[in-house]
Structure 1
Amino acid sequence: MAARQNIFRVRRSYNQWVANQTLEDYALRFTAKSARRWSAARVSNTALGAISFLAMEAIGGSITLHYGFDNAVAAILVVSLVIFLTAIPISYYAARYGVDIDLLTRGAGFGYIGSTITSLIYASFTFIFFAIEAAIMAMALEMLFDIPLVLGYLICAVVIIPLVTHGITTISRFQVWTQPVWLLLQLAPFVFIIYADASSISDWTQFEGLGVNTGQGLNVVMFGAAAAVVFSLIAQIGEQVDFLRFIPEPQNRAEQRRWWLAVMSGGP
């Protein structure tokens, strides 16, 4: 006679980090419709915050110093147009179907290996810009508070961890709270420069670059060199789609217009 088995109905218990879904926030791959609980404007604003890093000012300043104002502006305008046109279909499909850059590249026919390589390039790009951002912030801490650079690097690397572990939930909330301060700090230097010396604006627009012959103006070679630097930013769309895939699907025509505005603002 077979032994009788008794099954005990015990409710499983998990570690609080495992049970807390905000620590994951659909960090990878597909984003379910139930997870798109933020407004289109909120998600778009969060995506815009992802590209508001100080490395942008550093890149703009660097190409202006090396190649002059005319070449820098021409390169920025041309490459921005290319990036905008390239990013439109990527942003659309990411927001429409809630997929990240890995699934997008697989769907585009890259295959598993090609998708992995693309994701590696995107991840490397992100790490490089995080490092540049940390270097800028560490130098600012040293200039303002005399904090040694090594310690500044450590502070900038560690302080971001509690924010990013909680996904878009905490990131969007943090950006909404700090956006007024960011806008003030972003515009204050320009106001101060114009107030202190308005002629510096004309000096800036007439600047032809360090070590450049006077009167050279727009130069094809220097334009190409500046464009090559700016074109490296095209990989940023991989990070933008990680936010855009949380935009909820539109339910009517009015929401459709807001959806397109959010996708275009936070993506291309």
Structure 2
Amino acid sequence: MAGRLTNWLKGQGEGGSGTAAPDDAVAQLRAAKEAAEAANEAKTRFLASVSHEIRSPLNAIYGYAQLLERNEGKDAVSAARVIRRSAEHLSHLVEGLLDISQVEGGALRLSREAIRFPEFLDQLIAMLELQAQAKGLALVLDRQEHLPEFVHADPKRLRQVLINLVANAIKFTDHGAVTLKVAYRNQLATFTVIDTGIGIAPEDTARIFAPFERVGGEAGERAGVGLGLAITQALVHIMGGEIRVESALGEGSRFTVRLMLSQPLAPPTDPAPEPGAVTGYLGRERWVVLIDDDPAHLAMVRGLLEPLGFQVRTASDGEGALALAAQVQPDLVLCDVMLVGESGWDVAARLRRRHGAALKIVMLSGEGPRSGGPLADGPANDTFIMKPFDFTVLLDVIAAQLGMEWVRAPGLSGTAAEAPGGAAPLPFTIAPRAAAHCAEIERLVRIGHVRAIEAEIDAIAALAPEAALLADRMRGALDSFDLKALASLAKAVQADAA
């Protein structure tokens, strides 16, 4: 369109047409041409800016995944934590891009949480360390000796601001170091990002905070200039702070952010100990059908559920899923919304018509629940989970939908061998005669056969009067549905009998 407008305007200017257009029509067409060209240029800048925003956490994920794949990671747990935090930040960035209108309009809502300040900074540096190392740069955290342990902040937005500034410094620095300097005094936190990079010309220092603005010189040749600093400035202002820059060409840059981060009046109480990791579930065997056209997603969810004892089958399209469901009669279906060909909503509706309300259907998608088809609480599905999701969220939803109870590894609150009620284990004088019944109880616990367990406990109680205390304790565990404790008692009796 812009090309045709240019040719037409050129012809009018040269008098090539026998009919001259009115001046206002020519002006309108010229304005339309300029608007089209500006929109096209803005789109190009926007795509470059999005690339700038996502590459930092993506690089951490990619780098640490390669280290783990090559078995070069010295600490796999630490690598996994960096990958998870980077993925969380990537998810937050996507949300931030979708909510850019809220940021610019000042309608963004901030959270106020007590965060562990030094730990927060250490995690930030760990997330960006690989990116700096890849360019041969030193990434330095220069923090005041006595920082407060806790401060109030919106951790997601503060992290976004600092990552934007540090990642930007790394991008525009080819030699030397990038330093994050942190000071704190009278509730005022000062973050200074210092680099030894290419610097910014004086005439460009005001323009760099404008959305989609590209500066001149070498900096303008590097993709990503435009959106990151605009979002950063908007977030800093929304948080009630200020941001300024000092720079000179060839001498590096210094970005300074000042924010009021108050300290809690008293240190936050430590959260309750987290329960142990889920290792299985109580009751009968459950069947799950996964529907997704992404093999990596199918493998990931399958790898989570199968070790817990689920029978998992997968399908990549609607027809395959319907045939599979008719064959195995699953308890639960996890269905993606965006499938090749047929919509996941349509597949869910067909499954519901064929299998009724007994089949639990959970939709998984990167799109919102109202992205097409029925509402999330409509008749086609039972609930909805947004991607990316935390495994614990998925497990909580599965337990709620199927009315299940998880079996967990021992946590900080006790051990598997601990007797119900915290009492010391009993001296089982009846152990040799009760061992066979206890072995059967241990087997029945794994399949959740409650009535058969009751029968075995009654058989133990009938062995001798001294078995009554053991039987009562087992009944107490069964009545509270603490099958893990029941299995531990049964195992202890067998060990005593050996």
| Higher RCO structure, 1 or 2 (CA under 8 Å, sep 6+) | 1
Higher strand share: 2
TM-score by length of 1: 0.30
Greater radius of gyration (CA): 2
